[in-house]
Amino acid sequence: MSPRLLRRAGSALRYLLLSLAAFLSVFPFFWMAIGATNTTADINKGKVSLGSALSANIASFVAAVDVPLILWNSVKIAVFGTALTLLVSSLAGYGFEMFRSKLRERIYAVVLLTLMVPFAALMIPLFMMMASSGLIDTHIAIILPSIASAFIIFYFRQASKAFPRELRDAAKIDGLREWQIFLFIYVPVMRSTYAAAFVIVFMMNWNNYLWPLIVLQSNETKTITLVVASLASAYYPDYGTVMIGTILATLPTLFVFFAMQRQFVQGMLGSVK
């Protein structure tokens, strides 16, 4: 084969692989959108074209679920949980990087070690803690355990390594207290790191399933993820209705991701250039 032909074959192979990957990642969304317009019978048959059951599906979803309430529950947990996680975990990451102490690396190692503990192992003690504090079936029980996130602390400490120490020195000479340095210098300088962390934590909170499933017991406190899952696990699930719920559950994360895509990429690369 001539080198030119070889190059063409290589590029064709590359496109083939990329197309396959694109198909695999996009098809579920496509299937979800198509499914929302079809009846359960059609979906079960494997129909992949637009149907005419969209309004019927929407109507049955709205009839089955208190849509504003569950959306509000999800938004509340995701937004407050994310804001608190970013505040507390970034403060910890900042502290770990800025303050020298003999114990620093040991404490940090313990924090990182908690990343290795699977959630399933924490579930029961956590549940007992929440039960003894009377927090079962409240949203606080969902938000509290995630605020100090070892991963986000780690992420912020790594990002803080690029934060110029001389900025902190300059701010001290300008008369700022430590909390003012954090708030007025660190946070704005690291804003793309915050944006990336926001996307990650928001998605984790929004999609959180297992822990809310255990803690949230009444219909009034449930999140959209729980409701969609419970619709899908009925004896005879109405897939058309489930797809409406799935779309509703997916849209906010898509919106957050696309709205912050640029900052997300920049934050992953590092805030400080």
Residues near another protein (CB under 8 A) are 164, 166-167, 169-176, 180, 185, 188-189, 191, 272
CA distances from 170 to 92, 146, 164, 176 (A): 22, 34, 10, 9
Q: Which is nearer to another protein, 163 or 239 (CB)?
A: 163
What is the per-residue DSSP string for the chain? --HHHHHHHHHHHHHHHHHHHHHHHHHHHHHHHHHTTS-HHHHHHT--S--S-HHHHHHHHHHHS-HHHHHHHHHHHHHHHHHHHHHHHHHHHHHHHH---TTHHHHHHHHHHGGGS-HHHHHHHHHHHHHHTT-TTSSHHHHHHHHS-HHHHHHHHHHHTTS-HHHHHHHHHTT--HHHIIIIIIHHHTHHHHHHHHHHHHHHHHH--HHHHHH--STTT--HHHHHHHHHTSSS--HHHHHHHHHHHHHHHHHHHHHTHHHHHHHHH-S--
CB of 105 to another protein, least distance (A): 16
Q: Which is nearer to another protein, 167 or 204 (CB)?
A: 167
CB of 99 to another protein, least distance (A): 14
Q: Which is nearer to another protein, 36 or 185 (CB)?
A: 185
- Judged by phi (left if over 0) then psi (alpha if -120 to 50, else beta), residue 175 lies in left
CB of 195 to another protein, least distance (A): 14
Q: Which is nearer to another protein, 4 or 273 (CB)?
A: 273
Q: Which is nearer to another protein, 240 or 267 (CB)?
A: 267
Q: Which is nearer to another protein, 126 or 167 (CB)?
A: 167
CB of 273 to another protein, least distance (A): 8
CB of 167 to another protein, least distance (A): 5
Q: Which residue's structure tokens are 């959630």? A: 119
CB of 256 to another protein, least distance (A): 23
Q: Which is nearer to another protein, 169 or 220 (CB)?
A: 169
CB of 10 to another protein, least distance (A): 40
